Copies of this chain bind each other. A is one copy, B any other.
Amino acid sequence: MHQSDPTIEPTDSVSNRSDTRRHYTIGELARLFDITPRTIRFYEQEGLLEPERRGQTRIYHDKERVRLKLTLRGKRLGFSLAEIREVVELYDAMPDGDVRQLRRLLELLAEKRAEMQRQLEDIRLMQRELDDVESRCRNALADRT
């Protein structure tokens, strides 16, 4: 019932013991992030994930889970999968990447950073708008009582 394989020992030094289940099936991972397996396979097809293959079936370790988490966060922030992939690829090639690649990565990071700044400003402005509309709305509501 419970997984009881004593032959498997952690190869992970620093990890959150709370969610280190070593690996996930595609379905488990999907439930974990509230997306569909289809989405996960699609991301793989787009070069964002490279799960291990145990026979035919995909096995996701923590590294892939983190990648997926970052991918989803990037998406929420409006980045396209292509943009995310470029960063991911460069990041993977980092340890033995050449200088040109490293510079390219720094360049991309600076871009992302700038975009984050613009978003912060947009959020600030949007929150003001919301405040404004809300107060007007509450006034209108008060007038109607």
Question: Complex formed: what's the CA distance from A116 to B120 in Å?
Answer: 10
Contact count band on A: 35 or more
**Are the C-beta atoms of B94 and A137 separated by less than 8 Å?**
yes
- How many monomers of this protein are in the complex? 2
Determine which of B102, B109, B113 lies in contact with A140 in the assembled complex, contact meaning CB atoms within 8 Å: B102
Main secondary structure of the interface of A (DSSP, over half): helix
Ordered by A's residue number, 5 sampled pairs between the chains whose C-beta atoms are within 8 Å are: A77-B119, A78-B78, A98-B144, A102-B144, A106-B141
Q: Which residues in A have some Cβ–Cβ distance to B below 8 Å?
A: 7, 70, 73-74, 76-78, 87, 91, 94-95, 97-99, 102-103, 105-106, 109, 112-113, 116, 118-123, 125-127, 129-130, 133-134, 136-138, 140-141, 144
